[in-house]
Amino acid sequence: MTINHHSRIYIAGHRGMVGSAIWRALEAKGYSNLIGKTSAELDLRNQKAVSDFFQTEKPEVVIDAAARVGGILANNEYPYPFLMENLQIQNNLIDYSLKADVKKFIFLGSSCIYPKLAPQPLKEEYLLTGPLEPTNEWYAVAKITGVKACEAIRKQFGKDYISLMPTNLYGPYDNFDLKTSHVLPAMIRKFHEAKQSTVDGRQSTVSLWGSGTPMREFLFVEDLADAVVFALENKFEDNLYNVGTGADLTIRELAELIQKTVGHAGEIIWDSSKPDGTPRKLMDVSKMEKAGWKAKVGLEEGIKRTYVWFLEHQDSFKEVKI
């Protein structure tokens, strides 16, 4: 099937950080037939609702950016919904895409699908070669199932169903709720609020989880959206591709970079009683680069752009309820 600017493209999760970035990227390139439904309009966990949607809307392309997501705390405290709801969402989307003869399906996952102690950098072939990180295995198991479902469809039916596994994402429309957010947006909010709060003329201290020694890689969400558009417009030889920058830094270095960007002058306290998570998660992105795509936005620039967005929208943030 040839994708053109009039193709009916359904973006599941189009209101989220990833989905909205993909929507903007596609609009910017002239795609004019985008389909989006809010969770109130379409409950992706509901099998019949999803079936009815496919019969009515007849999308030619499906991009699955819908998921229940969260950081270590949320994954650890609410394992069942992180497993079951993600399975329900992606199973319905993948199965009804197959039944509706959707020609191209792009499944988005996460680098957490790889074993906790897999060799670094993480290659696609390391999938299912060892135990997962216990604090987010529920989400990871669901995403692994999605990868394998797309691979099975590709193998059995020859359809162009592919999986993109991004590294840690951040950017505009991120979740800044301190109970459920990931590390980078949580730090932006913590440092900003500490900057606004003073004790005896000094800016408040910031307490951060763990030792600060784990290493992480971060991808600006607009880069991921660019990768999705690239995957949409090109036929890939394989079913699974890592999407990242290929460079990482320690959580301590990340904290110092965000602290500098925000302009916080207080002290950072590391709470070593809290878990660190996986020691290192660096993606091998050579496969994606060989296909012809590479990340463009550097971490310092991306953090600055994210902080500007945070400042513009902070009054509208709502606490996320689990």
Query: Residue 248 in contact with residue 280, Cβ under 8 Å?
Result: yes
Give the pLDDT band (50/70/90) at residue 278: confident
Write out the binding residues: 13-19, 108-111, 143, 166-169, 182, 190, 209, 216, 276
pLDDT at position 290, please?
98
What's the rounded Cα separation, in Å, for the pair 3 and 103?
Answer: 10
DSSP 8-state code for residue 298: -
Q: Is 139 a catalytic residue?
A: yes
* Residues making up the binding site for substrate: 190, 209, 216, 276
User: What's the Rg (C-alpha) of the chain?
Assistant: 20
Tell me, what's the pLDDT at 315? 81
Mean residue pLDDT of the chain comes to 93
How far is 101 from 215, CA to CA, in rounded Å? Answer: 42
Instruction: Tell me the C-alpha distance between 322 and 320, whole Å.
Output: 7
Confidence of residue 201 (pLDDT cuts 50, 70, 90): confident
DSSP state of 283: B
Domains in the chain (CATH in brackets) are 9-173+219-246+283-296 (3.40.50.720)
* Cα–Cα distance for residue pair 300/247, rounded to 1 Å: 13
User: Tens digit of pLDDT for each residue in 147-162?
Assistant: 999 999 999 999 999 9
Q: What is the pLDDT of residues 154-195, one digit of tens each?
A: 999 999 999 999 999 999 999 898 877 789 999 999 999 999
Distance of CA 236 to the CA centre of its chain: 21
Q: Is 162 helix (H, G, I), strand (E, B) or coil?
A: strand
Stated pTM of the model: 0.92
Catalytic pick among 10, 31, 96, 139: 139
Contact (Cβ atoms closer than 8 angstroms) between residue 190 and residue 258: no
